[in-house]
Chains A and B, each alone.
Chain A
Amino acid sequence: MSNEQEVITVINAPVYLKYNFTAGAAPSRFLTQIKKGVLTGQRCPKCAGVYVPPRGSCAACGVPTEDEVVLSDKATVQSFTIVSIPIPNNPIQPPFVIANLVPDGASVSFIHLLSECVNEDIHIGQRVQAVWKPKAEWDYAMDNIRYFKPIDEPDVPVAKIGKLPVTGWEG
């Protein structure tokens, strides 16, 4: 046998595994509603925290969140960042804004995009509202909401973010 051999640095062993993925019972209820254009959360029976999107439990108390709550599509900016670099495979061109948003009636934030705004003017406590895709395009998906845009309402003090009722912010 020859002593001359290539240094082997790669072998190909692709892995294909098929799964019948299920969203979970609580996420399924959320997705069913968002397909109808309604944002919902679930309330913890112990601490009354409202989770969006719900995953089935209150992570703080470790109990099921079965009480369904309809939320507003108005929200408050809890935090944000301006992305100035292109993200691989992301069709959105920089600069763009991603933000932690707390919808009225919820206790926790989710992450979504902000647009139709002056990026430099975005600030914590700012009021925003969902801009929905045309109804015909609604699916079991968070991007039924294209993005959120600023609305003309007074800022929410930091201490009140995550504590607004579903009826919104009276100022």
Chain B
Amino acid sequence: MKKIAIVAYQQSDAVSDAGAVNEVELIMPVLARTFKQVGLNNAQDVDFVCSGSCDYLQGAAFAFVAGVDALGAVPPIKESHVEMDAAWALYESILKIRMGHADSALIYGFGKSSPGELPIVLSQQLDPYYMAPLWVDSISLAALQARLMLDAGLITERDMAEVVSRSRRNARNNPHAQLSGDVSADDVLAQPTYVSPLRKGDCCPVSDGASAVIIATEDKAKEWGLPYAIISGIDHCIETHNLGMRDLTDSVSTRKAAERAGMNNGKVDVAELYAPFSHQEIILTRSLGLGKETSINPSGGVLAGNLMMASGLSRIGEVFNRIVSGEAARGIAHATSGPCLQHNLVTVLEKA
């Protein structure tokens, strides 16, 4: 089987409000930088394009179609879209390459969450008959999960605050982070509770922005003459939509996806985990069995800035950056979707 490599990654700044820009205007600067990184002109120079976005975020129907105007799609290109995080667009692109239908692909994700009330908007992804009409928002559901963890003695509020503190401190080295600083666990614990037991610091911010990645067969990457990292495995698993049937204190689907993606075939130097809430980082770390030898969320993770529909792709990009810089030889990137870590994707990246 052909090896597949990542050759480029770019992300916009994560900002709380991107202002008047529309989706094309949000995407274009990121794509321009991504093409430049590889020396390409536009999407005509790759074999396939796949994007991830969700029109509910900005409340604009067919916003994802408008996004195609950022590509240079004349003459026509091969293009696809997932109404999911763009990490799943990368998954689709890998299948496309493995089937022999493409040697290279551009993947991008974008989200302008600021126009709506994101936690309420996300309630509409729940079961439409019994859950969505109750408007149960994403923060409340995460709070139910955190309460289970605390009550079972699996974590303490200080453990959660430590996650936030590390995120803020790591994010100081991330030029695109929205929230960063020398914040201690005590500083976090001094915050009032927001949606009990969660404090604001335990929750990722609402962010606008986009990110993009270019992948290719290893042969193509060599032809381009660029530093690259190999995607040695990728898989995803989903749990039932019925929250009452899940063990919310564990992430079985993440563990299973990681096993199937081959995470356990070697040492994990770095892990970028898509944990929108502090306690979820602990759930993910434990369910994957990651220990001290693994650097968790060196970018600050999504507590430092959460680009809906792009953060999962950015996790892959952040691991790629650390491998090509020589900081890590092997790492995993995790992406999530749905309430309380319902659907999880794990990508394993390795030094070429």
Binding site for B on A (CB under 8 A): 11, 13, 15, 17-28, 55-64
Measured between beta carbons, the chain A residues less than 8 angstroms from B60 are: 21
Known contacts A18-B116, A62-B71; is-contact A55 B22 (Cβ 8 Å): yes
A-B contact list, 6 entries, CB within 8 Å: A13-B129, A24-B21, A24-B24, A55-B22, A57-B24, A62-B43
Measured between beta carbons, the chain A residues less than 8 angstroms from B42 are: 61-63
Q: Is the CB of B132 within 8 A of A57?
A: no
Q: B36-52 vs A: 1/0 string, CB under 8 Å?
A: 00000011000000000
A15 nearest CB neighbor, chain B only:
B124
How many Cβ-Cβ contacts under 8 Å join chain A to chain B?
Answer: 91
Interface size range on B against A? 20 to 34
Q: Is the CB of B59 within 8 A of A21?
A: yes
In the assembled complex, B74 has its CB within 8 A of some CB on chain A: yes
In the assembled complex, B120 has its CB within 8 A of some CB on chain A: yes
Separation of A139 and B59 alpha carbons in the complex (Å): 23
Q: Is the CB of A62 within 8 A of B22?
A: no
Q: Is the CB of B129 within 8 A of A20?
A: no
Known contacts A24-B24, A25-B21, A63-B28; is-contact A18 B117 (Cβ 8 Å): yes
In the assembled complex, B72 has its CB within 8 A of some CB on chain A: yes
Known contacts A19-B58, A55-B66; is-contact A62 B31 (Cβ 8 Å): yes
Q: Which of B32, B56, B115 contacts A20 (CB 8 A)?
A: B115
Measured between beta carbons, the chain B residues less than 8 angstroms from A28 are: 20
Q: Which of B22, B74, B116 contacts A24 (CB 8 A)?
A: B22
Among residues 41 to 86 in chain B, which have CB atoms less than 8 Å away from a CB atom of chain A?
42-43, 56, 58-60, 66, 68-74
Separation of A17 and B132 alpha carbons in the complex (Å): 12
Majority SS at the chain A contact face: loop
Measured between beta carbons, the chain A residues less than 8 angstroms from B66 are: 55
Measured between beta carbons, the chain B residues less than 8 angstroms from A20 are: 114-116
Measured between beta carbons, the chain A residues less than 8 angstroms from B56 are: 17
Known contacts A59-B73, A59-B74; is-contact A24 B25 (Cβ 8 Å): yes
Q: Which of B28, B59, B115, B124 contacts A62 (CB 8 A)?
A: B28
In the assembled complex, B19 has its CB within 8 A of some CB on chain A: yes
Q: Which of B20, B115, B133 contacts A19 (CB 8 A)?
A: B115
A-B pairs, 4 with minimum CB distance: A24-B22, A62-B72, A19-B59, A60-B74
Q: Smallest CB–CB gap between A20 and chain B, Å?
A: 5
Measured between beta carbons, the chain A residues less than 8 angstroms from B21 are: 22, 24-25, 56
Measured between beta carbons, the chain A residues less than 8 angstroms from B20 are: 22-25, 28
Measured between beta carbons, the chain A residues less than 8 angstroms from B31 are: 62
Q: Which of B22, B32, B124 contacts A17 (CB 8 A)?
A: B124
In the assembled complex, B266 has its CB within 8 A of some CB on chain A: no
B72 nearest CB neighbor, chain A only:
A62
Q: Smallest CB–CB gap between A109 and chain B, Å?
A: 16
Q: Smallest CB–CB gap between B241 and chain A, Å?
A: 16
Separation of A64 and B21 alpha carbons in the complex (Å): 12
Among residues 119 to 137 in chain B, which have CB atoms less than 8 Å away from a CB atom of chain A?
120-121, 124, 128-129, 132-133
